[in-house]
């Protein structure tokens, strides 16, 4: 037996400090999620012809289309620009969410949780 006796228990090596750390991380994650949902992300394509704005809930908030982008002879080009702008704005929102999550979990040593993960 290790010096100091058995410190295990039903949760293995998890102690009160680890539980507090996990609870703080949960609170931080909820706060981050709320902040992310309220932020907006935009993308412009076609040399500024089409701009899409989405929020952190991945909902399109607004769309701006310059009149010169509307060519009745080439509706497909406008459709492609709209799709590209929305996809790029969504990519930005996802990238920021991933970066924020990495900041929260990056310093956490998951291996110290007694093999739970």
Superfamily of domain 16-105: Nucleoid-associated protein YbaB-like domain (3.30.1310.10)
Find all residues with CB under 8 Å of 19, minimum gap 6, and list them: none
pLDDT tens across 55-109, in order? Answer: 988 899 999 999 999 999 999 999 999 999 999 999 999 999 888 888 877 755 5
Q: Which strands sit side by side in the sheet containing 40-45, from one edge to the other?
A: 40-45, 50-55, 60-65
Query: Domain spans of the chain?
Result: 16-105
User: In the chain, what is the straight-line distance between the N-terminal and C-terminal CA atoms, in Å?
Assistant: 25
Mean pLDDT value of segment 108-115: 50
| pLDDT number for residue 74 | 93
Please give the model's pTM, rounded to 2 decimal places.
Answer: 0.68
User: Do the Cβ atoms of 48 and 66 come closer than 8 Å?
Assistant: yes
pLDDT tens across 6-55, in order? Answer: 555 555 556 888 888 888 888 888 888 888 888 999 999 999 999 999 99
């Amino acid at each position: 037996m290790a010096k100091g006796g058995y410190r295990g228990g039903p949760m293995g090596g998890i102690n009160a400090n680890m539980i507090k750390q996990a609870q703080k991380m949960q609170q931080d994650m909820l706060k981050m999620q709320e902040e992310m949902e309220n932020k907006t992300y935009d993308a412009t394509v076609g040399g500024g012809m089409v701009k899409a704005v989405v929020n952190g809930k991945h909902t399109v908030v607004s769309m701006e289309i310059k009149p010169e982008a509307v060519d009745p002879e080439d509706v497909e080009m406008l459709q492609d620009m709209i799709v590209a702008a929305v996809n790029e704005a969504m990519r930005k929102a996802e990238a920021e969410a991933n970066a924020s999550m990495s900041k929260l979990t990056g310093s956490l040593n998951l291996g110290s949780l007694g093999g739970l993960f």
